[in-house]
Amino acid sequence: RQILKAMDKILVATSALPIYRQSAWSASQLGDIPYLGFTLVFTVLIFVIELHLDIRQLKTFYATNTLPKELVKHIPNETFQKSNAYGKDKFLFKIIESTFTFLQGVALIVLGYLPYVWDISASLAEKMAVMTPDYSNLFQEIIITWVFIVLMTIFDTVITLPFSLYGTFVVEEKHGFNKSTLALFIQDKAMTLGLTFVLGLPILSLIVWIIRSAGPHFYFYVWACLCAVSIVLMTIYPTLIAPLFNKYTPLEDGEVKAAIEDLAKKVEFPLTNLFTVDGSRRSAHSNAYFYGFFKNKRIVLYDTLMKQVELPELLAILGHEIGHWKLWHTVQGFFISQIYTFCLFLAFSYVQNTPGMFAAFGFAYPSGASAAPMPVFIGLMLFSQTFWSPVDKVLSLLMTFNSRTNEFAADAYAVKLGMGKDLAGGLIKISIENLSNMVPDAWYSMYHYSHPPLLERLRAIEKHTAAKKNE
């Protein structure tokens, strides 16, 4: 009863929204479920929770003047103070940016941004002479969707550009991490936009075609298609896309290459190539990763990482990364993403033709046998904002927890290889060089961190090392 009363209140409060509605919109299509109202309530709820967590972490930075006892012997106080200063600046900026993003998102929903931009897109498509009987409804929908995405992407890029610039050239620059230039920054943005359109628009067109053509069980075919696309993209990204942004150089013969190859041989890791990447071209932050399918694995080392750690520590870090492969974490991640995609489109298949969902956001739902169906992409967007958003948030929290569990397991694997001490040393050095958060708030890290905080990892490594000695 209380839920029904709450629904009635939300329905009444949002009955006049959004402000812009399509010309053929009718209140009779709204139904009893306040989709727009629930979306606004959930958006506000998540913002308040995340803002509270951000403020908790920011207060922790201001309230903490000394390192935890276990870190004092490893990290100089000067570095800790720099880390705290970096954290304060990042979180103040993050709070401002997230608040702006929240207010913008709410404003766009209230104003009726989606139906407004869709109508503009249809008008532009009409000027392109594609809205005629010579072209099928499917072709017209795809063209309007392309125009819609281009307009939305350009708008989003322009709106977020000041924050991107400030984050890179003020916050990161102030603390010594930014190595990018304005020209390189603009080049990256332009290339990213280009790739988004070149790759994204054809893939989306394929999805629209499948949903329109495959019948009620389209979700299976969409999933199969996206699974194949993801495999293709994972294959071509390291060799065709990533080199557009960075220079990948085969690791030179020498002590480092020989030691990594020996490690790979020892654990039966099918290493075929070793590369270094010029991460220092843009940032002083460091990383290492591997990619490739089956018996064709390649390891990529950031040049910044190779300068920050000693060889034994580098090997321990790679031992951790290989642990993810050995423990099937990469395969696990792939299968989880596929199950997620399948469930998303399965759920969408049940609500894609819900008149009330479209009408709640200002779209006119067509009637009559000859009426064109509602746009697939708009349906997906509204479904994601209404039905799927709470599910996605819960799944995101579960995946964050699973990721932390996998990180602990990969650390334990490195310890089993006898690399516990060097792994701990490497993690400490990386944290120092990257000015990582050394005093994370417990609730903030639990909600956001896909990797456990440094202190938790060091304690776990010490525990596993002690257990290994007692075996």
Question: Active-site residue numbers?
Answer: 321, 411
Helix (H) or strand (E) holding 260: helix 255-266
Residue 409 to residue 446: CA distance in whole angstroms = 17
Sheet containing 271-277: which strands, arranged edge to edge? 248-250, 271-277, 297-302, 288-291
Q: In the numeric block, which tokens belong to residue 54?
A: 């951000």
- Kindly provide the residue ranges of all beta strands, DSSP E only, lying in 3-121, ordered along the sequence: none
Burial class (CB in 10 A: 0-12, 13-18, 19+), 125: buried
Residue 227 to residue 281: CA distance in whole angstroms = 33
Helix (H) or strand (E) holding 277: strand 271-277
Residue 25 to residue 35: CA distance in whole angstroms = 16
Largest pairwise CA distance in the chain: 79
The answer to whether 287 and 279 are in contact (CB under 8 A) is yes
To the nearest 10 degrees (0 to 180), the angle between helices 376-383 and 137-166 is 50
DSSP state letter for 31: -
Cβ neighbours of 132 (radius 10 Å):
8
435-448: burial string, b at 16+ Cβ within 10 Å, e else: bbbbbbbeebbbbe
Ramachandran region, residue 268 (left: φ > 0; alpha: ψ -120 to 50; beta: rest): left
Residue 291 to residue 271: CA distance in whole angstroms = 10
